[in-house]
Amino acid sequence: MSKQSPIIAPSILAADFARLGEDTAAALAAGADWVHFDVMDNHYVPNLTMGPMALSALRKYGIAAPIDVHLMVKPVDRIVPDFAKAGATLVSFHPEASEHVDRTIGLIKDSGCQAGLVFNPATSLDCLDYVLDKLDLVLIMSVNPGFGGQKFIPMALEKLRRVRRMIDERGLPVRLEVDGGVTAENIGAIAAAGADTFVAGSAIFHAKDYRAEIAAMRAAIG
């Protein structure tokens, strides 16, 4: 199993919150594949964003694309079924935010969602040895979580290469996602390091032309 077809997932943290439905729909109409939905709790990270009600509102508005929920929430388990009910497709969490990583993965899957595990720039990949075959996605953070608009941390490239090797050696259908500071300028190098799923917030939503930006990203991925 090698790299899967590229997915571009705009982080709606950078969208206009006063018109979240329209802005999300515009990014999808401009060629995005998924919606990346950042959940911050002012505890695990020093920022506060959206919850299951906002996700449910996007579904009611008519957003039908996969919604990739990135939980920066601690503790994580209690809120997982609420996001599943609200219409999440994939739910990812940070190992530091769960007392029992394997149990949380099971909870996400039992709730009917795909499961992802997220690694901060300074978090070790050790637990992946034990759970990689249960995951649908591994997310490598290329910024410290909590805010959009930060600069890409280059050491994420080596981490991506390591996880790509693990996925390929085991022949698993696991997606490898990157999140933080992704732009049309650096996405080629990020893809070359092994990522197949790309979150981009500011680069897309602060661009004048979403379609041109997403097209530039796809061209650079190759």
Q: Where are the alpha helices (DSSP H) in 35-186?
A: 52-61, 80-86, 101-110, 128-131, 156-170
What residue numbers does the annotated binding site for substrate cover?
Answer: 11, 70, 146-149, 179-181, 201-202
What residue numbers does the annotated binding site cover?
Answer: 11, 36, 38, 70, 146-149, 179-181, 201-202
Q: Based on the residue annotation, tell me whether 33 is a catalytic residue of this protein.
A: no
Residues that bind ligand 5SP in the complex, under the rule CB under 6 A = 11, 13-14, 36, 38, 70, 143, 145-150, 179-182, 199-203
Torsions phi, psi of 40, nearest 5?
Answer: -120, 140
Q: Based on the residue annotation, tell me whether 82 is a catalytic residue of this protein.
A: no
What's the min distance (Å) between Cβ of 171 and Fe ion? 27
Interaction partner, residue 150 (ligand 5SP, Fe ion, none; CB < 5-8 Å by kind): ligand 5SP
Q: Are 162 and 132 in contact (CB under 8 A)?
A: no
What's the min distance (Å) between Cβ of 140 and Fe ion? 11
Distances 157 to 79, 100, 160 between C-alpha atoms, Å: 31, 28, 5
Largest CA distance in the chain: 45
Catalytic residue of the set 68, 136, 179, 196: 179
Interaction partner, residue 182 (Fe ion, ligand 5SP, none; CB < 5-8 Å by kind): ligand 5SP
Q: Are 99 and 80 in contact (CB under 8 A)?
A: no
Residues composing the chain: 222
The helix, strand and coil proportions of the chain, stated in percent and rounded to the nearest 5, come to: 40, 20, 40
Task: Point out which residues pair with 178 in neighbouring strands.
Answer: 140, 198
Interaction partner, residue 202 (ligand 5SP, Fe ion, none; CB < 5-8 Å by kind): ligand 5SP
Catalytic residue of the set 23, 38, 133, 209: 38
Q: Which long-range contacts (CB under 8 A, 24 or more apart) does 15-18 make?
A: 15/205, 16/205
Provide the token pair at 105.
């993965």
What residue numbers does the annotated binding site for a divalent metal cation cover?
Answer: 36, 38, 70, 179
**Residue in the shown chain whose Cβ atom is closest to ligand 5SP:** 201
Query: In whole angstroms, what is the distance from residue 160 CA to residue 176 CA?
Result: 8
DSSP label of 37: E
What's the min distance (Å) between Cβ of 129 and ligand 5SP? 24
Interaction partner, residue 101 (Fe ion, ligand 5SP, none; CB < 5-8 Å by kind): none
What's the min distance (Å) between Cβ of 92 and Fe ion? 8
C-beta of 141 vs 168, nearer to Fe ion: 141
C-beta of 153 vs 172, nearer to ligand 5SP: 153
Q: Which residues are catalytic?
A: 38, 179
